[in-house]
Amino acid sequence: MEKKSGMILGVALLGLSLAAIAGAQTTYDDPQGRFAIDIPKGWQLAPQTDDKVFVFQGEGKTVIIECVPGVNDPAELFKKGETTIRLSGMAKPALDGEVTELTVNGLPARWGVYKGAMAGVTLAALCGGVAIGENGLYFLSFIAVTEVAAWKGRLEGLFQTVRASGQKITGVEGAKAVAAEAAPAAEPTPWKGALVSLILPPGWTETPKPRGIEKEVQGMFANASLPGVTLMAVGYKGMGMSMPKALDAGIKTFKIPVPNAQPVDVQETEIEGKKINLVVYKGTSVGAGTEVELGAVIVVTKADKCTLNLIAIGQATMISEMRAQVLEIVKTVK
- pLDDT value of residue 162: 97
Contact indicator for 163, 271 with CB cutoff of 8 Å: no
Residues of the chain under the 70 pLDDT cut? 1-25, 180-186, 286-290
| Overall residue count recorded for the chain in this entry | 334
pLDDT in tens, 139-155: 999 999 999 999 999 99
- pLDDT value of residue 10: 52
- pLDDT value of residue 178: 87
- pLDDT value of residue 107: 97
Other CB atoms within 10 A of residue 144 CB: 12
- pLDDT value of residue 290: 63
Compute CA distances 164 → 16, 29, 131, 135, whole Å: 30, 9, 9, 10
Domains of the chain by start residue, with CATH: 3-15+187-330 (3.40.1000.10), 19-178 (3.40.1000.10)
Identify the bridge partners of residue 143 per DSSP, sorted by sequence position: 124
Evaluate if pTM is beyond 0.75.
no
